[in-house]
Chains A and B, each alone.
Chain A
Amino acid sequence: MEPTLNFIAYLIYLPVVIILTWYVAHTLFKNSKVFMLDIFHGKTDIATATNKLFETGFYLLNLGFAFWIMEISYGIGSNRSMLEVLSAKIGGFCIYLGIMLFFNLYLFFRGRRIAKAKSLALAPLPKVEG
């Protein structure tokens, strides 16, 4: 059996996807606190808890998916094919991560809209003069 470059490819792939996921989750959930505060009408404790739970779920799902698709089913012969395979994998994972990011953002905007509509419906009617 000829020596293959699969091991090196895995060793490059793993840190890249972990750092990428960490960076995206960190950015997203640092900025989502504002949405959560809006959704829960300024109740800080429940907003922080929900934010943390969403963050954990995001990490679990995306890291699980990244590890799931790591397999390179054939032996890599040359440096060139290793680069090609790695760029295809990491690029695909980046696109997936972007879709997940925008999906989460959509959920936040939707929750905010619903919360605003509810608070408008529950607000006391303005007094009519005369």
Chain B
Amino acid sequence: MNTLAYIIYLLITYLITVRVGFVFYRNGRIFILDLLKNDVSLTDAINRILLVGYYLVNLGYAALMISTWDEIISWTGLLFSVVFMTSKILLTLAVMHYCNMLVIYLISKRNKSIFHP
């Protein structure tokens, strides 16, 4: 039953990663625009590169986690292990997301103190 679990797990992580990445892509643009002082073409380029990097890291991590999977023998075990692995991915994403927001906040604070005293 491991194959079934892998298929469900990859489907869920793929959906979550792509949706969350799209939300970050759309809403993070304005922050990069602010940091780069309204340089639109450079912002779009950096934003797209960041999106691709984010997809690579997350989907790679999700695929890597499959190698640590236990043997599944029952439906209960299948449901539990899929949900547990998804929770690991979600928590990792959350931690990364909050770190990113902290970094953006710190950079914008430093820029303000230098350029707009």
B90–A67 touching, CB < 8 Å: yes
Known: A10-B76, A60-B20, A71-B80. A53 touches B27 (CB 8 A): yes
A61–B76 touching, CB < 8 Å: no
Q: Tell me the count of chain B residues lying within 8 A, CB to CB, of chain A.
A: 27
Known: A10-B76, A60-B97. A68 touches B84 (CB 8 A): yes
Q: What is the interface of chain B mostly: helix, strand, loop, or mixed? A: helix
Residue among A4, A45, A60, A70 facing the most chain B CB atoms (10 A cut-off): A60
Binary interface encoding of chain A residues 1-17 relative to chain B, with 1 for a CB under 8 A from any of its CBs, else 0 = 00010110011001000
**Tally of A-B Cβ pairs under 8 angstroms:** 78
Interface residue? A65 (CB, 8 A): yes
Which of B2-10, B28-36, B44-52, B59-67 binds A? B28-36
Range for the number of chain A residues in contact with chain B = 20 to 34
Known: A46-B30, A64-B90. A14 touches B97 (CB 8 A): no
Residues of A within 8 A of B86 (CB): 67
CB distance from A28 to the nearest CB of B (A): 16
Binary interface encoding of chain A residues 69-105 relative to chain B, with 1 for a CB under 8 A from any of its CBs, else 0 = 0110000000000000000000000000000000000
Whose C-beta in chain A lies nearest to the C-beta of B74? A7
Q: In the bound complex, how far is the Cα of B80 from the Cα of A14, in angstroms?
A: 11
Known: A10-B79, A60-B93. A71 touches B23 (CB 8 A): no
Residues of A within 8 A of B80 (CB): 6, 10, 70-71
Q: In the bound complex, how far is the Cα of B79 from the Cα of A48, in angstroms?
A: 36
Known: A4-B76, A10-B79. A53 touches B28 (CB 8 A): yes
Q: A49-B30, A56-B23, A71-B80 are in contact. List 18 more A-B contacts (CB 8 A).
A: A6-B80, A7-B75, A10-B79, A10-B83, A45-B30, A46-B30, A49-B29, A50-B27, A53-B24, A56-B24, A57-B98, A61-B90, A61-B98, A64-B93, A65-B91, A67-B87, A68-B84, A68-B88
Residues of A within 8 A of B (CB): 4, 6-7, 10-11, 14, 45-46, 48-50, 52-53, 56-57, 60-61, 63-68, 70-71
